[in-house]
Chains A and B, each alone.
Chain A
Amino acid sequence: MKVTVTVNGTRYEREVESRMLLVHFLREELGLTGTNIGCDTSQCGACTVHMDGKSVKSCAVLAVQADGREVTTIEGLAQDGTLHPLQAAFWEKHGLQCGYCTPGMIMAGSAFLRDHPHPTDEEIRHGLEGNICRCTGYQNIVAAMKSAAENM
């Protein structure tokens, strides 16, 4: 089936199998490998992207469902070479170690901050319930989220 998806501002037309997951479409059809795959049950959140402005786990969506929609991946988050405040805050606050969960964490976190501009620690920890990190113990991710909230 033919799909047209706008990813990071660029319109792509591709012929895909109906069964292809959005995450594989992004990674393998478009070469946008910044979005990672960490599980196969839609628990870990590593594959989180924005679809029509809302966070989504791209392993739980078929590429055909994204037809006609706008998708933003980690590669498209920085604007004109300037890091998104949350990207900058992850760097500043050591919110990542191996970096594998990080794109999904930043995509989920940036969507959360849009809806919760002044979050408490508890709200942040709760707001990240769809994302798993094995390296950081979450503490510096929470710190990065707070810091970004102050700078946004």
Chain B
Amino acid sequence: MATRIFGSGIKRREDPRLITGKARYTDDFQMAGMVHMVVVRSPHAHARITSIDTSAARGAPGVVAVFTGHDLKLGAIPCAWLVPGSDLKVPAHPALATETVRYVGDGVAMIIATDRYLAQDAADLVQVTYEVLPAVVNPETSTKEGSPQLFPEIANNVAFHWVASSGDDGVNQAFAEAEVVVKERIVQQRLLPTAMEPRAVLAQWDKYAEELTVYSTTQNPHIARFILSGVTGVPEHKLRVIAPEVGGGFGSKIPVYADEALAAWASMKLGVPVKWAETRSENYQVTIHGRDHVEYVEMAATKEGKVTAIRGTVYAGLGAYISTAAPGVPTILHGLMYSGAYAIPHIRAETFGVLTNTTPVDAYRGAGRPEATFLVERLMDRLAHTLNMDPVALRRKNLIPPFENGYTVAIGLTYDSGNYEAALAKALGMFDYEGFRREQAAARQQGRYLGIGVTTYSECCGLGPSQVAGAVGFQGGLWESAIVRFSPAGKVQALIGASPHGQGEETTFAQIIADELGVPVDDVEIAHGDTNRSPMGWGSYGSRTTPVGGAALVTAARKIKEKARAMAAHLLEAATEDIEYGDGKFFVRGAPDRFKSIQEAALMATLAWNLPAGMEPGMEASAFYDPPNFVYPFGTHIAVVEVNPATGQVDLQRYIAVDDCGPQINPMIVEGQIHGGLVQGIGQVLCEGVVYDDQGQLLTGTMMDYAMPRADMFPTFEIESTVTPSPHHPIGVKGVGETGAIASTPTVYNAVIDALQPFGIEQMEMPLTAPRVWKAIQDARAKGGQ
């Protein structure tokens, strides 16, 4: 048997094009006759449009056309996650505003010009007059009587109200009878996803074939086609969406935005290819933001530290319109995860989805689960402090015991498999916890403030099954499909519906195929990202590409293998049940020199000169895989920080991550996913945060103001893993795209709070910038802390 390619950290096949500049992102494409679109955007967060004068712009050099919302014949931009039982009201979201603008960046007109500089010149000439209205930016404030109202039909700006509960009576009783209750108000600040490639679209209308091709920076070309078809009226079979190289998404390229629809419509109207590429400042104004919760959470426990209940009320900011998946994020993906890795008997999650005069909010890496993990882990540390218990000991006391095939938490989810204690033990094995506590105590004597955070988490990803999607109001399926085919010469092509955009599945999926079919990995091609080529799929998000798409691929490959076995048996004149398989060859049992390679079997099936009775020609299989459940990766993260009390600066000194995503197809790629997630999660703690002023002006509107994590903020992460297969997945794998971002935020936050215990500081708003930490220390000192 050759070295197994599954589990091997082989180099990525994506990379040669990416490291040489040959990759082609949407904005790299040029077409004959192509024109450029620039959108004129509202400078006000809330205003009535009193007039739009485009005459000067129309006469500007290079201008092909100028349109306002009155010219458009486009449907509204829809929401595709209609969470049931929540009285959800989705206000109309026109592609260009005609009467009222509701956030800074809301589009009011579009310029089409022969050159992007000239388009911008003309945009500057559009005269819009506004009657400015009061604005509201905070989701909690927005629900109060007297707040500015975004839509007359949505009272107090509450677009939905959702509750999940293990039973309200039980929850209430648990809190009423609790020996200890800890509470916190948590602000999950807004974040900017900041995929390094800003969004772009290139729409090309073929007036002869009446077909629309849209190159789009999307994580889910089939969903984009589905929605764009509805918005533009172009039937799906005449609409092709291509996701070429896509430079990261982190959720921000799931939604279908007004801009894609505008470019498509303009191309149809003008008969020329239309390109739009946002600038980074524009990206920060109009591409979705993440998080934005104000949460009131509490945990009940016994004096011995047994958690008896947890509940929370969340005001989740949605922004000015309801983006594609927005309602599902702070509800299904958040409220159902309050149990974390712990056995908690009573749970209640309540979410208000709130409109504000801000950029729409939608799924950002982790999407709801980072917020849930944060509140659970935060309350755990708070409880430990209150009970004067060691936070690790407290967690141990409450972890769900190991399970291999299903554990149902109080709120109703059934986790697939977990061994939380093992991951915790492994992480603690990499770190002298007791020694650290001694060092911490000694350092405090010298006025140095060290802190540690330990998170034991479980998250839910691999979004599916479709039955659940339907039950929770997701307006699509959550299965994936794959087609695997042999060419006559023995090469394998696999077409997948999912659409990776940097994660590396062109490599890992080839590893799966090579492993399943015993072919050289270099003989396998993975193709994706073109609705005219790839089979239907629901996209790459929610750490689902490998758990769901990978399973579809395995299933298709196994169909091929069975067909090849039958073909080989026929060629070897043996019964199928007498054929054994090994390393890409089919043997007659007991006669290892009598074999046919899978390539030979494929060739003969393709030639079809001599098929067994009833066999169809060709060697191709497709599979649709609808997972029976989510997958639940888990792990333990440890962070060590030192806080400089003179400046408030936080120095992250060590970071240990032990994650369990089941068997790893390519450990190098798994580690890369974790590294990236960690930096995003830690960025939320230490530097990132959107700020609006009271008038709804985005004050962190460029990279000069919004602090992206940089290389010099981080130590070398220490990464390990445990392996607990998912019982329901064909190859046992779980997702790993979001674990880093889910676990790291509470870990580093709790480490900073731990460092500041001598000052009695239990809480600060993120990001924990030096000025904020310094201020907290000053305030604590003024109140008589150390």
Contacts and interface: CB of A to CB of B under 8 A. Distances in A.
A135 to B, nearest CB: 5
A135 B280 contact: no
A119 interface: no
Given A40-B279, A40-B280, A97-B503, A132 B19 contact: no
Contact of B196 (A20, A27, A38, A137): A38
A132 B709 CA distance: 8
Given A44-B703, A97-B504, A140-B675, A102 B18 contact: yes
A126 B196 contact: no
Contacts of B197: 36, 38, 98, 100
Contacts of B12: 91, 94
Given A74-B21, A96-B15, A99-B19, A139 B250 contact: no
B576 to A, nearest CB: 42
Nearest to B502: A98
Contacts of B668: 94
A36 B714 CA distance: 25
B438 interface: no
Contacts of B247: 36, 98-100
Contacts of B18: 96, 99, 102
A13 interface: no
Contact of B711 (A27, A46, A87, A142): A142
B466 to A, nearest CB: 28
B714 A134 contact: no
B118 to A, nearest CB: 10
Nearest to B507: A94
A77 B247 CA distance: 21
A125, A128, A131, A135: residue with the most chain B Cβ atoms closer than 10 Å? A135
Contacts of A33: 21, 24-25, 27-28
A68 B718 CA distance: 48
Nearest to B669: A94
Contacts of B644: none
B360 interface: no
A35 to B, nearest CB: 7
A98 B672 contact: no
Given A41-B702, A41-B703, A137 B675 contact: yes
A35 B197 CA distance: 12
Interface stretch (B141-149, B676-684, B772-780): B676-684
B20 A87 contact: yes
A151 B290 CA distance: 41
A124 to B, nearest CB: 7
Contact of B19 (A19, A87, A129): A87
A134 B677 CA distance: 9
A134 B708 contact: yes
B786 interface: no
Nearest to A84: B19
A77, A133, A137, A141: residue with the most chain B Cβ atoms closer than 10 Å? A137
B678 A92 contact: no
Interface string B684-727: 00000000000000000011100010111010110000000000
B23 interface: yes
A99 B15 contact: yes
A99 B21 CA distance: 9
B140 interface: no
A32 interface: yes
A100 B269 CA distance: 32
Interface string B19-43: 1111111011010000000000000
A96 B279 CA distance: 23
A31 B21 CA distance: 11
Secondary structure at chain A's binding surface: helix, strand, loop or mixed?
A: loop
B501 interface: yes
Interface string A67-95: 00000011101100001000100111010
B246 A138 contact: no
A101 B196 contact: yes
Contacts of A96: 15, 18-19
Contacts of B11: 91-92, 94
A135 B714 contact: no
A39 interface: yes
Contacts of B708: 43-44, 132, 134
B281 A139 contact: no
Contacts of B248: 97-98, 100, 134-135
Contact of A135 (B19, B196, B279, B716): B196
B714 A98 contact: no
A46 B11 CA distance: 23
A78 B17 CA distance: 12
A17 interface: yes
B615 to A, nearest CB: 42
Given A39-B702, A97-B503, A128 B711 contact: yes
Interface string A111-152: 000000000011011101101111111111110000000000
A24 to B, nearest CB: 8
A19 B704 contact: no
B395 to A, nearest CB: 25
B503 A90 contact: no
B21 A17 contact: no
A46 to B, nearest CB: 6
Nearest to A38: B196
Nearest to A97: B502
A136 B704 contact: no
A139 B15 contact: no
B431 interface: no
A73 B30 CA distance: 19
Nearest to A90: B19
Contacts of B28: 27, 33
A88 B25 CA distance: 22
B676 A97 contact: yes
A13 B273 CA distance: 28
B672 A140 contact: yes
Contacts of A5: none
A101 B740 CA distance: 21
Contacts of A87: 19-20
Nearest to B703: A43
A141 B711 contact: yes
A139 B196 contact: no
B490 to A, nearest CB: 27
Contacts of A136: 672, 675-676
B246 A98 contact: yes
B188 interface: no
B278 to A, nearest CB: 10
Interface string A53-79: 000000000000000000001110110
A96 B501 CA distance: 12
A85 to B, nearest CB: 12
Given A46-B196, A129-B710, 9 more contacts: A35-B21, A38-B280, A40-B279, A41-B280, A91-B16, A100-B197, A134-B676, A137-B717, A140-B671
Interface of A: 17, 19-20, 27-28, 31-41, 43-44, 46, 73-75, 77-78, 83, 87, 90-92, 94, 96-103, 106, 121-122, 124-126, 128-129, 131-142
State the 9 A-B residue pairs at the shortest beta-carbon distance, nearest first.
A34-B21, A98-B502, A100-B247, A99-B18, A137-B675, A74-B21, A33-B28, A43-B703, A137-B679
21 contacts: A27-B28, A33-B25, A37-B27, A38-B197, A39-B280, A39-B703, A43-B704, A87-B20, A91-B15, A97-B672, A98-B501, A99-B502, A103-B21, A126-B711, A134-B248, A135-B196, A137-B672, A138-B675, A138-B711, A142-B711, A142-B716
